[in-house]
Amino acid sequence: MSRPHLLRRSSTPAQQSSSGATNTETAQYTQMNRDLGQRLGFAMLGLAALVVVVPILLVIGTIVARGMGAISWEFLSAMPREGMKAGGILPAIVGTLLLTAGTAIAAIPVGVGGAIYLAEYAGDTWLTRAIRLAIINLAGIPSVVYGLFGLGMFVLFLQFGTSILAGSLTLAIMSLPIIISTAEEALRAVPVEFRTVSASLGGTRWQGIRNIILPQALPGIITGVILGLLRAAGETAPILFTVAAFFLPHLPRTVLDQTMTLPYHLYVISTQVPGMPPQIQYGTALVLLGLVLSLNVVATIIRSYYRRRRQW
Amino acid sequence: MNETQRTRWTESAVETLIRVLGFSTIGFVALIFLFLLQQGLPTFFEIPLGNLFGTRWYPTFDLFGMLPLVLGSAMVTILAMAMALPLGVATAVFVREVAPDWAREILKPMIEVLAGIPSVVLGFFGMTVIAPLVRESLGAPTGLTAFTGALILAYMSLPTVISIAEDALDAVPKSCRDAGLAMGATQWQTIWRVVVPAARSGIVTAVMLGMGRAIGETMAVMMVTGNAARMPLSLDSLFRPVRTMTATIAAEMGEVAQGSTHYHALFGIGIILFLLTFIINLAASSTIFKKRHRGGLR
């Protein structure tokens, strides 16, 4: 963290001494040139960072500014009416929450278990490397291919039909790599002494993990789980063929029902329905963005809070 | 059963369970590939190769030429990386080497926020705000072009590129920097001539993973590229509508009869996408593993 400062401090005296030692015009000219080059270079880097950040602010600003007007109690709590051009988006909100909950139930045990295996049990064998490779590849598979897989396996082969169950399982597999890699990192951050002490007191490996390591790593694991679920909540492509309903003016009753979801609803009202009032589109985008970003903030807060509080 | 026996039993049961969970990821990758093959392999028997490698994708007329889709994906991805590489690497260098603490405190969370914005929201923003801008500034009939898609994709792959490039810069040992400075180079010269070249392989990894992200992106691309399955051959096709492999699957799967040739063909595109991203990630991770083996970099 402090490296840039060290660099800056150490570079200045070096430059001064070199210009002081050879006090000719050329040396001064080169010195000026070098300083100018450095200033130009740093300015370019700063500009690049601005070009990255400003559009992010623009996207969020635009959606908040144009969507705010649509947000009302009715918008959040009513069924859509008049071909979705009026009323609220309640079924989409409920659908996304249900789907995310289903994803959590399926993904957390597998993800955390996988992380425990990698951090605490796995040796450096070719099998472990194969697991890591599988995780990297799961993270890289296009979201729409997850959709195809969900359709082939859960909807057709296991005959769940287009349902919350099929969609949750598809999204759960998709969020596994994020959950596993962040949870593993959190487990590995627990100092090795904790394990040694647990073992020296006669604890078995699992007792040590359950009573000491897991509680210590819990904030990090929770952060990872939230980040994984957040990605699942905002995805559209994997649920296109596995859950999503175009228009369904009632709430789902069982896990085998279809449901509307926020991301798919936004896609539908911005591309499939002509003459949609922009306010409703931006309002839906704002609700989705708000849901995802607030989860993001929660994850960041948990992480920084516990990082400051922990004693090792 | 006494206490010790029970502990031992729990211990081995838990260990077995965790082992199974650990190996499950391999199973999932295999399952995904199997199901793609099962549904998509018939494509390559049902459709003559000449048709499959043709230049026209009109499923209603039994024309399944995948070339325009593959080239569409390639064009949008390459253009996106051409934008994301310089921007991402420069930002990573800024965050790691130059930025004062306050700027870093703003930049890092902002980049995380960008990674968290759902692709459908970015696609919506691209459709309603960027596409009209592109249309007006080009005087084109539509703002839904390959360029618009590439622009959105560049920003979507930036978080990946930046974070991995940052790790790469972080891995350059302090002794390299000190040596550069001791030779009388300015901080800028050290960064540009010593640190960045030393992080080269990591930066290549960053770009490859960003590319994997860009090829696979679906919703945003589908919403802003206009989806015309045309061969993008000349330079001005950058500013015309284009259609990618991912968008084709997402747009057509809903309307297709299960088990038809068209249905198999969409899974066939899925196989191509799976293999492409698999190869990209394999190549990228092999550089990661190599670094781990070499060890003493830090």
Q: Is the pLDDT of residue A202 over 90?
A: no
Establish, for the pair of chains A and B, how many residue pairs have beta carbons separated by less than 8 Å: 299
Contacts of A147 in chain B (CB under 8 A): 249-250, 253
Q: Does a structural domain hold residue A66?
A: no
Return the SS3 of A92. helix
Confidence at residue A30, expressed as pLDDT on a 0 to 100 scale: 72
- What is the DSSP annotation of B140-162? -S-S-SHHHHHHHHHHHHHHHHH
Is residue A69 situated within a structural domain?
A: no
pLDDT recorded at residue B1: 60
Note down the domain range covering A284.
87-308
CB contact under 8 A, A263 and B103: no
Residue ranges for chain B with pLDDT beneath 50: 292-298
* Phi and psi at residue A71, to the nearest 5°: -75, 120
CA pair distance B164, B204, nearest whole angstrom: 10
Q: Do A235 and B212 touch (CB under 8 A)?
A: no
Write out pLDDT tens, residues A279-309. Answer: 889 999 999 999 999 988 888 888 888 877 7
Distance, in Å, from the CA atom of B195 to the CA atom of B204, rounded to the nearest integer, reads: 14
How does pLDDT run across A211-238, given as a tens digit for each residue? 889 988 998 899 889 989 998 999 999 9
Q: Which pair of structure tokens corresponds to residue B118?
A: 């759902």
Has residue A146 been placed in a domain?
A: yes
Q: Which two tokens stand for residue A261?
A: 């979801």
Partner-chain residue, chosen from A49, A149, A296, that has the shortest CB–CB distance to B32 = A149
Does residue A10 sit within a domain? Answer: no
Q: How far apart are the first and last CA of chain A?
A: 19
How many Cβ atoms are within 10 Å of A185's Cβ, its own excluded?
A: 16
Give the residue on A whose Cα is nearest the Cα of B127: A270
Residue A99 Cα to chain centre, angstroms: 16
In angstroms, what is the C-alpha Rg of chain B?
Answer: 24
In the three-class reduction of DSSP (H, G, I as helix; E, B as strand; rest coil), residue A242 is classed as coil
User: Is position A34 within any domain?
Assistant: no
Is position A156 within any domain?
yes
Q: What percent of chain A has pLDDT over 90?
A: 42
Type of residue found at A39: R
Backbone angles phi, psi at A86, to 5 degrees: -145, 180
Q: How many domains is chain A built from?
A: 1
**CB-based contact, A12 to chain B, within 8 Å:** no
Residue A7 pLDDT: 42
pLDDT of residue A271: 87
Q: What's the rounded Cα separation, in Å, for the pair B267 and B35?
A: 9
Whether the Cβ atoms of residue A164 and residue A102 lie closer than 8 Å to each other: yes
The pairing of strands B57-58 and B63-64 is: antiparallel
Q: Quick one: which H or E segment has residue B187?
A: helix B187-190
pLDDT tens string A135-151:
999 999 999 999 999 99
Q: What is the pLDDT of residue A27?
A: 67
Query: Is A9 domain-assigned?
Result: no
User: Cβ A14–B181 below 8 Å, yes or no?
Assistant: yes
Q: Does A241 touch chain B (CB under 8 A)?
A: yes
Reported as a single tens digit per residue, the pLDDT across A105-119 is: 999 999 999 999 999
pLDDT of residue A192: 87
Global pTM exceeds 0.90: no
Residue A160 lies in a domain: yes
pLDDT band for position A25 (cuts 50, 70, 90):
low
Percent of residues, chain B, with pLDDT higher than 70: 96
Q: Is A307 on the interface with B (CB under 8 A)?
A: no
Interface of B with A in 82-101 (CB under 8 A): 86-88, 90-91, 93-99, 101
Q: What is the CATH number of the domain that holds A304?
A: 1.10.3720.10
Looking at residue B282, its pLDDT comes to 87
State the pLDDT confidence band at A24, using cuts at 50, 70 and 90.
low
